[in-house]
Amino acid sequence: MNAEGAVTGHAMRSLRLLLEAYAGCELPQWDLFGTNVRVLRVEPGAVLFRVGEHHPYIYFVQRGLFKAQMPSEGDRMTTVFFPEEGDVLASMSALGSDGVRRVAARGLHPRAETLRAAVEAESTHTITAIEPSLLLRVNYRVIEHLSTQHLQWARLTTTIALMHATTLQADAGWLRSTPEQRYRSLLREHPGLVQRVTQRDLASYLNITDVALSRIAKRVRGEAVPSTPQTPPEADDLVATTPSLGVVG
């Protein structure tokens, strides 16, 4: 086996372990699924999909780092998420469930209009590689087809949806905290991420200016010496828009 074949084989084994962990069981017809999976290598700056595109694929990040951005005021793009190793990436146009579409179309949910817009929308994020990355890509319709044939695959799709909902719940708590609390949380829970992204992207993610981020970082670094009363970021340092963290769309 050549080096490229070894990388592909290892990536597929890792993906199977991941998906069977999600499903809680072995997944039947794995060979059918595997023949539809493509291994992608992308370089920094490469775009997986853009705002406004209909994109049917789901991605499993094996190695690397990306940034998810969405438009804010004017032509500015705000960084709202950093997909990394172990993350699952897809646009809402790929994951839009037929069941959700039916409920929304029949007005059976109090927020039917919002749901209809979500499942029928084009991608709302642009996904760009920050580092050289390795991904596995498959059309989500393959997973949907298998889930209609096998309970095990249906469990997988349910768990992916539950993971999405859990992520959104965690993100809601994140957004209620201050920029400095979010920065400290990143240092505590994802210390390597701060070193892997630019200050501009990190500031955008925290919803503050580069200057405000520098002040916060300096204050946190200086806590080894006797601290002085902290001052909140100046009003001009805060960015008007609020990032929506969570599922890539």
**What are the φ and ψ backbone dihedral angles of 94, each rounded to 5 degrees?**
-80, -40
> What are the boundaries of each domain within the chain?
3-176
All residues at 6 or more sequence positions from 33 whose CB lies less than 8 Å from its CB, including other chains:
27, 138, 142, 143, 146
Q: Are strands 38-42 and 47-49 parallel, antiparallel or unpaired?
A: unpaired
pLDDT at 180: 92
**How far lies 25's CA from each of 17, 22, 93, 147, in Å?**
10, 8, 28, 14
At 121, the pLDDT band (50, 70, 90 cuts) reads low
Q: What is the pLDDT of residues 129-138, one digit of tens each?
A: 999 999 999 9
Q: Specify the pLDDT at position 244.
A: 33
What are the structure tokens assigned to 107, written together?
């007005």
Domain 3-176 has CATH 2.60.120.10: yes
Residues 6 or more apart in contact with residue 136 via CB below 8 angstroms: 11, 12, 15, 37, 38, 39, 40, 59, 60, 62
pLDDT tens readout for residues 189-235: 888 898 899 999 999 999 899 999 999 999 998 885 554 555 555 54
**49-107: per-residue pLDDT in tens?**
998 888 889 999 999 999 999 888 767 888 888 999 989 888 766 666 677 777 778 88
